[in-house]
Structure 1
Amino acid sequence: MEFIDIKTPYRLHKQEIDQAIHKVLDKGAFIMGEEVAELEKQLAAYVGAKHCIGVSSGTCSLMIALMALGVGPGDEVITVPFTWISTAEVIPLVGAKPVFVDIESDSYNIDPEKLKRAITKKTKAIITVNLFGQMADYSRINPIAEEHGIPIIEDAAQSFGAKNNQTMSCSATLIGSTSFFPAKPFGCYGDGGALFTSDDQLAAKMRAIRTHGGEVRHHHPYLGLNGRLDTMQAAILLAKFPHFQKEVEARQQLGERYNRLLEEFVSTPRIMPGNTHVFAQYTFRVSAREEVAKALKERGVPTAIYYPKCLHEQPVFSSLGYGKGSFPVSEKAAQEVLSIPMHPYLTEKDQLLITTAVKEAVSPFMSLR
């Protein structure tokens, strides 16, 4: 059984994808070919942002966003400790200091009330994270940031295709950032990512930073890097994009069925008011997680843990001075979350097999809930 199935969509759309790949091979425009611009145009329209800038990865997109905002030494950037490390590692890479804020237990996203208390005169930006496939509460977050004049970067690596109060993910804040890593809801066959904004000047600056700090060859007004999206990956994404919305709808149906089948046995994910959920992962909470994961493996059901250790517990961030207990909601989530197979091509039969195995695995521990 596949935990994430990236083979089936290729088999289903093989002709379109192969044609897109061979078109690039025939033309030989492997760097910044016309497919990159076309993908940017289509994704900007889908998201509802004026600009899309294709980049080499979701990590690179976050770094470019910070560079474009002028974040550097002496600045603080607020984010969450319960996420993949790339969200926070880009902050010291531009010379700034990460400041962590705990999450809400129901959504796994940043707690707006705690965000308020973390803002200082040194806060230069906020990176929100839309974890597991649903957006943070931007109706509460955006006014806080606006009051202090602080830009928000929406880390939408797991939420592309989701909505918050009818606003599409990647267009809820000044800058949206996403990843096209193959396992993401909208993935390519290598690394890739994108930035979104409706600010003309910011878009121009991010485009320049993406290509060594300049849009015109041999003219470099900014310090930049090589952050270009590969033409081949753009072509693959263009071939897959017409099918993406159907996959989003399938994920939502599958997530709802998982919830119905498992809600009496584990703490199932909650879709927050005003949100849609793309279920980049289907993640529930359970006591005795290691025992449950082992039992599922014995029954042929693969699992994963996103994330077993919070960022403030990672050695690389030890100098920040946080200790165990600094972020209790995040730490509790890290001890309890467990993800089971999730992708748009799961069948109802698959889900019944998986949920039956989950029920059998958790039954001995039901009294511990």
Structure 2
Amino acid sequence: MTQTSVPYVALALRARRVKSELMAAIERVIDHGMYILGPEVEEFERRFAAYCGTRYAVGVSDGTAALILALRAVGVGPGDEVITAPNSFAASASSAALLGATPRFVDVLRDDLNMDPARLEAAITRRTKAIVPVHLTGYPADMEAILKIGERHGIPVIEDAAQSVGTVYHGRKTGSVGQMGCFSLHPLKNLHAIGDAGVITTNDERLYRWLLKARNHGLKSRDEVEFWSPNARLDTLHAAVLTVMLEHVDTWIAERRAIAAEFIARLRDVVGVPTEAPGCFHTYQTFMITAERRPALLQHLRERGIDAKVHYPITIPQQEAARALGHRPEDFPVASWLAERIVSLPLYAEMTGEQRAAVIDGVRSFYRP
């Protein structure tokens, strides 16, 4: 019997579905020649803001730049502290550290993998300058509770929405709930460029005007630099691609959700599976299970041609870069427990029925041989 191969991603298959549209958009950029901050950038920003339900969006070079610029916009700098989740990608914390601030961490909830609001207030100090909840895997953090705490202490809440384009929290898209939302548009995201890209959303006109300058060397005109800032522009070519992709992202998310529902129904009796609380809409940028005997499970899946991943096996506080913070695994017991058990299964809209069955059978056969 031929083994069904299941790669973790299959980006070329998605591009193939809209290739004629992508090539037409790319050709328009090549033909008009405005490769830096061309009209496609503003068009994508307008459409993405409308999609998220915000007044403004600012395209930037990547998700890390989005976080750094957003933190700078609220005044984060040396000596400050920024609170985030310990189980995210490194950029959730490095964005603060690169500004001279200290990342502080609040443990997460086991059921949704996101920041535990009940632990947040205890982490706030007089030096706390921003709170950055992460919508991990495409599931929204409990923003209502987090915002109430932020408002009580006068601390801005910036959403790390890197993984959550299209995610909904009680009727509002992520990126529209906090003071700003920071998105990565990396190729592994549900909405992606052909390379690195990012975008920041906000309803605050003052922040919007500052961000437009901050992503472009701090220039207020062609010849005048108002403040020092890096080049963090979104390329016109990426904006053209993103505008095409945005037209299809809801269809792709619906397809992902259908596959996720199938996985959940067939796997919930053998592993921990994602949940979805009332009022929350999960986009499954990553389909993450919790599994006992993870190393053996991963080996079992590899032998069956299934490429599963772990996001992330080492929490941020336990990374070498964070050693000076002096954290132990027991400081964040839930995040540490998850780091030993989480597995990201392949899930993308273009999976065949045979591939979906292979993933399900691969996991089930390990626990129920």
Distance, in Å, in 1 between the alignment partners of 2:328 and 2:164 is: 30
Q: What stretches of structure 2 of length at least 5 have no aligned partner?
A: 1-5
Tell me, yes or no, if structure 1 residue 210 matches structure 2 residue 215. Answer: yes
SS in 1 for 2:131: strand
What residue is the counterpart of 1:50 in the other structure?
A: 55
Q: Which of 17, 24, 27 does residue 22 from structure 1 map onto?
A: 27
Matched, 1:133 2:134: no
- The CA RMSD measured in Å over matched residues stands at 1.0
Corresponding residue for 2:101? 96
1:240 to 242, 245, 249: 245
CA shift for structure 1 position 70:
1.0
Counterpart mapping for 1:103-252 below 5 A: 103-252=108-257
Contact persistence 1:107–1:272 (CA under 8 A): no
SS across alignment from 1:53: strand
Q: Which amino acid aligns with 1:155?
A: D
**How far apart are the structure 1 equivalents of 2:110 and 2:226?**
44
Structure 2 residue identity aligned to 1:188: A
Deviation at 1:90, TM superposition (A): 1.1
Aligned to 1:360: 365
Relative to the length of structure 2, the TM-score reads 0.97
Instruction: Give the structure 2 partner of residue 10 of structure 1.
Output: 15
Identity of aligned residues (%): 35
Deviation at 1:12, TM superposition (A): 1.3
Q: Is the 8 A contact 2:192 2:242 kept in 1?
A: yes
In the alignment, residue 363 of structure 1 is paired with which amino acid? Answer: R
Consecutive unaligned residues of structure 1, counting only runs of 5 or more, are 365-369
Counterpart amino acid of residue 291 in structure 2: V
Amino acid at match of 2:303: E
Show structure 1 runs of 4+ deviating over 3 A.
Answer: none
Q: What are the superposed Cα offsets for residues 28-52 of structure 1, whole Å, 9 maximum, x if unpaired?
A: 1111010000000000001000000
| Matches of 2:66 and 2:342, distance apart in 1 | 27
Separation in structure 1 between the aligned mates of residue 55 and residue 347 of structure 2, nearest angstrom: 32
CA pair 343-215 structure 1, distance change in 2 beyond 3 A: farther
How far is the alpha carbon of 1:271 from its aligned partner? 1.5
CA drift of 1:347 comes to 3.1
Count of aligned positions: 364
Q: Equivalent residue for 1:274?
A: 279
* C-alpha distance in structure 1 between counterparts of 2:220 and 2:192, whole Å: 27
> Which residue number in structure 2 is paired with residue 367 of structure 1?
none
Q: Which moved more, 1:11-20 or 1:213-222?
A: 213-222
Secondary structure in structure 2 of the residue aligned to 1:126: strand
